[in-house]
Chains A and B, each alone.
Chain A
Amino acid sequence: MTMELQHSLSFAPPGQNAQPRASAAPGNLRTEPKPVRVVIIAIAITFLSIFVVLPLVVVFAQAFSKGASAYLAALSDPEALAAIRLTLLVAAISVTLNLVFGLIAAWAIAKFDFAGKTFLITLIDLPFSVSPVISGLVFVLLFGAQGFWGPWLQAHNVHVLFAVPGIALATIFVTFPFVARALIPLMQEQGTQEEEAAISLGASGLQTFFRVTLPNIKWGVLYGVLLCNARAMGEFGAVSVVSGHIRGETNTMPLLVEIRYDEYQFVASFAVASLLAMLALITLVAKTILERRLDEEELPREH
């Protein structure tokens, strides 16, 4: 019995903050025989290694397959630099707009009660469920030559499609829910008492928002911005449909990855891809850190 207990305790879920309930339970009734545990862990590790770790490793292996100088040459080529600049510009535009929208929407949704709230959240979530290609297509149907407003735009010489505004619109669409979705549950959890106290003490609405609400949700804001930015910089399908692939002008980094790959310039393709993979890895590390902070942000309210 003691043997069994010790045995299972070593495999008990880590206590600390993540699983307080599980760690409190006696482990012996709640785990599987050792061979079963070993097999399950082995399957999980093998599967994740093949499907997630190897693809990541292959990106960097391919990018450096002809040495560091070929890698650097691929990244300093004018088209690559133009793609990097465009990607940064589009991400800046869409993250800023979605941040402002997310804060406004989260205030309306989390701090007030009204009928149809769940439905409104479902509508905000919609872009997550739409195929990236369709997210681009809807803007082609609005602004394309055969689209609803295409003829008017052409007559007034305004370029939306195959230009920065179209790419930004498609990116805003696909990243639309990120900030709002990060903030709504957090702000609902925190309630309205602090804001009400500020208002009753004579603070204005904006003062209350910037001095009371915002400091309480700062990690949530950062979390939403982080995920929004990662998707904005990495979006491929939607941007591909609206970009027109004009060299040096409307190619973002993911689009350049495809172009170089189709030209059999694999080192150049994987070099740009390696930058995007690094962005993804940095995003994940930051996300993990932020999730821990967010737990703390929510905690004082629960007790």
Chain B
Amino acid sequence: MSTSTGRRSTLPGFGLTMGLTLTWLSVIVLIPLAGLFLKTLELSPDQFWNILASRRTLNALKISFGLAFAAALVNLVMGTIIVWALVRYRFPGRRLFDAIVDVPFALPTAVAGIALTSLFAQKGWLGAPLAALGVKVAFTPIGIFVAMIFIGIPFVVRTVQPVLIDLDPEIEEAAASLGARRWQTVFRVILPSLIPALLTGLALAFARAVGEYGSVIFIAGNLPNVSEIAPLLIVIRLSEYRYADATAIAVVMLVASFLIIFVVNRLQRWAQTRIPAH
């Protein structure tokens, strides 16, 4: 695989550090996750199917996956606009806004949850004017959507930003000097070369929003079948000691996140073949 294998073997400690790495990884991550799958095997296929096909479970999964995808799409569009402004333009407070993009990463989800709820509640700073327009956000599915947009903001921006910064300026200049209009250069030359990064950001934002709990449950209203997300249903089933139900929903969500990881890995490989490293 690599040309430097022989040269690198002079350093000591490979066996020991690799052994410790695999042991600790197994104890903390792999065995607990395997336990979840083992627990699912205790269910008969019929039981498993009945849990997933129940109206409440199906609706919770629909709400989590559907709204997460919608929020990720919003993040794709807004993230592209934000990253363009941050990388290509200069404006007062640019560095501050650049740093602020990471707030949803850093702010504990429970804090984000109560802050968004207070902001969008009927008497809140944004909730009151929206209520005057007849839009109710907090304690409705729109609230879930808003919280999912919040937590997804950094993903598209941070995956696209380095690619846009590294983009070869000569391509744009070539397009312009060959007579392309600016919008043609942007939409036919620049954006296509950002596609792998954009899709990676979309997938990461989607994955995060699907599993999100803390920032969503305060603003959601949590009405079964209407505004109850899948992670909350897992918590409810656990508190009712219905471990089988909790496990079955969790396995579906875990398999979905594995699929997303797979897609993201593929996208990154695609990106590497498209944009030669320099």
Binding site for B on A (CB under 8 A): 10-14, 18-19, 21-22, 24-26, 29-33, 37, 40-41, 43-45, 47-48, 50-56, 58-59, 62, 101, 104-105, 107-109, 111-115, 118, 120, 122-127, 129-134, 137-142, 144, 146, 148, 169, 172-173, 176, 192, 195-196, 199-200, 204-205, 208-209, 230, 233-237, 240-241, 253-255, 257-258, 261, 266, 269-270, 273, 276-277, 279-281, 283-285, 287-288
List chain A residues, Cβ under 8 A from B91: 41, 45
Task: Supply 25 A–B pairs (Cβ within 8 Å), ascending by A.
Answer: A12-B90, A13-B87, A18-B165, A48-B82, A54-B125, A56-B107, A104-B20, A105-B17, A105-B25, A108-B20, A123-B29, A124-B29, A126-B261, A132-B211, A133-B232, A134-B231, A134-B254, A146-B243, A199-B10, A234-B106, A240-B213, A241-B238, A257-B111, A284-B99, A287-B106
Selected from A24, A108, A139, A237, the residue in CB contact (under 8 A) with B17 is A108
Report whether A236 and B109 are in contact in the complex, using a CB–CB cutoff of 8 Å. Answer: yes
Residues B76-129 near A (CB distance < 8 A): 78, 81-82, 84-91, 93-94, 97, 99-104, 106-112, 114-116, 118-119, 124-126
Report whether B86 and A123 are in contact in the complex, using a CB–CB cutoff of 8 Å. Answer: no
Give A35 Cβ to nearest chain B Cβ, in Å: 12
List chain B residues, Cβ under 8 A from A172: 28
Report whether B108 and A62 are in contact in the complex, using a CB–CB cutoff of 8 Å. Answer: no
Secondary structure dominating the interface of B = helix
Report whether B90 and A11 are in contact in the complex, using a CB–CB cutoff of 8 Å. Answer: yes
Give B130 Cβ to nearest chain A Cβ, in Å: 11
Q: Say yes or no: is B138 at the interface (Cβ < 8 Å to chain A).
A: no
Give B208 Cβ to nearest chain A Cβ, in Å: 9
Report whether B115 and A58 are in contact in the complex, using a CB–CB cutoff of 8 Å. Answer: yes
Binding site for A on B (CB under 8 A): 1-2, 4-5, 7-14, 17-18, 20-21, 24-25, 28-33, 35-36, 38-39, 78, 81-82, 84-91, 93-94, 97, 99-104, 106-112, 114-116, 118-119, 124-126, 149-150, 153, 165-166, 168-169, 172-173, 176-177, 182, 186, 207, 210-214, 218, 231-232, 234-235, 238, 241, 243, 246-247, 250, 253-254, 257-258, 260-261, 265
